[in-house]
Every structure is written in structure tokens, then in C-alpha cells.
Amino acid sequence: MTFLPGYSPPPRGAARASRRGLFALRAAAALFAALLLAFVSAASISRAEPSPPREYQVKAAFLYTLLKFVEWPAGVVAGAPPPLCIAILGQDPFGDDLEAVRGKSAKGRTVVIKRYRRVEDVKECDLLFISSSERGHLGRILRQLQGSPILTVADQEGFCEAGGMINLITVSKRVAFEINVAAAQRAGLRISSQLLKLARIVVDEQRGAGQ
């Protein structure tokens, strides 16, 4: 085997590790994409929509798929497992696209949808999407939710830096995401390593100030 001048091949063990890491990354990406595609395709078929999925149809699929990659603190519950709740705080940008999630199953639990106007009313919620209509109150909202095992999600610039957990962003007309791991850990949530491999990791202002 020949190499370009000035190139030093990595140690054989490092090369194997690099290949394993690349394979794991591709596998995680394929799994996440397959789950998203399955949801979006099912929603389009049920609504007889041959056109490409809309932005918030894709984001609704993201919210549902995220439920499969996050572990919430275990609770002591007798009888049937409680539902998994996706809630919207503020103006709802999803409309019927999020309703397609209602009644589906994730982690053996039925998904329910709730909508709130005020953060003070938020309760019994697992994933909270904070609408851009609440941008002016974001700091107060996140402080109000501190200590609660609620996965906070938004699609606002600077959301993770402000202490939010997952921010949906658009890159080259595709939906991607940022994750604030420290914020999730402070809430007692555990995010799958498969999901972390696909995200841009963000350090929030609270953690950065303490370093």
C-alpha cells in the first residue's frame, strides 16, 4: 500500500477503532432515520399525501422518535404503565401533524398529547416542546422547570445554550438537532449514546459559568 507524501498511516489498532466508530455512527444514523421515515410515511399514507413532508410533520416525527432514545427516572407505579406525554407550551405550530402521534406506543407506553398556555400549568408531562411564541419568557420557563424530569425541546436559536435540552435546527433544508447533555442530566434524564452520536453537543451558560 502506498500513501501520499507527508501522510503517516495511523496505528493499526487506531484504524480499527476508527472504523468501529464510523460503523456505530452509521448504524445509529440508519436507525434514527428509519424510525423517522416509518412515522412520516405512515402519516402521509393515512392522510393520502403524496407530497414531500412539511417541516412540522418532520418535527412531529422527531418528537415521537425522541421518546425511544431517552430514559426517564423510574417511578413506582402500580398497575398498567402510565402514558408518555408530549406537551406543547404556547402557540402550537404542529396542528394535526402532532395529532398523528396520539395513541401510538413508545417504550410500551401510550403517547398522549397536551397543550398548555402557561408554564405554571405544566404537569404530568414527559416531553415539553416550548413554542417560539414563548421566546421572550424562555429564561423564566426553564428556571420554572428546573429539577423536573421533563425533556425540554424547541426550535429556537440559542435554546440549548440557555439551558434547554434538545433544539431542532435546519441545516441545508434538513432537520438536525443540538443536545445539552448537562441540562438533561440535571433533570435526571439519560439520553441514548446512539442519539448523542448524531447531535451537535452544546454546553449551556450555566455549566460554562461554573468551569
Give the residue among 56, 51, 160 at the shortest CA–CA distance from 99.
56
Domain membership flag for residue 106 = yes
pLDDT value at 123 more than 50: yes
pLDDT above 90 as % of the chain? 54
Return the C-alpha cell found at 119. 408554564
Supply the pLDDT for residue 103. 94
Domain membership flag for residue 189: yes
pLDDT of residue 171: 83
Q: In this structure, is residue 7 part of a structural domain?
A: no
58-77 per-position pLDDT tens digit: 899 999 999 999 999 987 55
Residue 19 lies in a domain: yes
Q: Is 64 domain-assigned?
A: yes
| Residue 4 maps to a domain | no
Query: Would you say residue 30 lies in a domain?
Result: yes
Domain-embedded: residue 20: yes
148/153 Cα distance (integer angstroms): 14
- DSSP helix/strand/coil, 152: strand
Model confidence at 120, in pLDDT bands (50, 70, 90)? Answer: very high
CA-based angle 159:190:58, to the nearest 5? 55
- pTM, two decimals, is 0.76
Half-sphere exposure of 118 (CA within 13 A, CB side): 2
CATH assignment of the domain containing 164: 3.40.50.2300
- pLDDT (tens digit, 9 = 90+) per residue, 12-45? 554 454 555 454 445 444 544 544 454 444 444 3
Domain that holds residue 194: 12-74+82-209
Is the distance from CB of 130 to CB of 141 less than 8 angstroms?
yes
Structurally, how many domains does the chain consist of? 1
